Amino acid sequence: MPLPMASPGKRVKIFSLAGGRGMQEHLISMGLGPGSEIEVIRKGAPGPFIIAVKETRLAIGAGMAQKIMVSENGII
């Protein structure tokens, strides 16, 4: 499922990235590569999505969030 479908407070695992090579490289450079575990802190509406990756919080836009495919509890 796309990241925007995950509920705040949930820990999810990234299993794939959509978008072009540049977008994928940008996401990976932020620590958002396949296999990464993230926590949804706040869903954007309005505003950015706030997620936690390890000890870092990131704000990402809705378009970027749509490109991050995640699974909850290992379910794809």
User: In this model, does residue 76 exceed pLDDT 80?
Assistant: no
The total of structural domains in the chain comes to 1
Q: What is the pLDDT of residue 74?
A: 57
- At 45-67, the pLDDT tens digits run 788 999 999 889 999 998 899 99
Q: Indicate the pTM of the whole model.
A: 0.86
The reply to whether 40 falls in a domain is yes
Question: CATH code at 29?
Answer: 2.30.30.90
Domain range for 9: 3-71
pLDDT at 45: 76
Higher-confidence residue: 45 or 30? Answer: 30
**Residue 6's closest CA among 31, 54, 39?**
39
Domain assignment of residue 53, yes or no: yes
Q: Please answer whether residues 37 and 12 qualify as being in contact, where contact means their C-beta atoms are separated by less than 8 angstroms.
A: yes
The answer as to whether 76 is a domain residue is no
pLDDT tier at 29 (50, 70, 90 boundaries)? very high
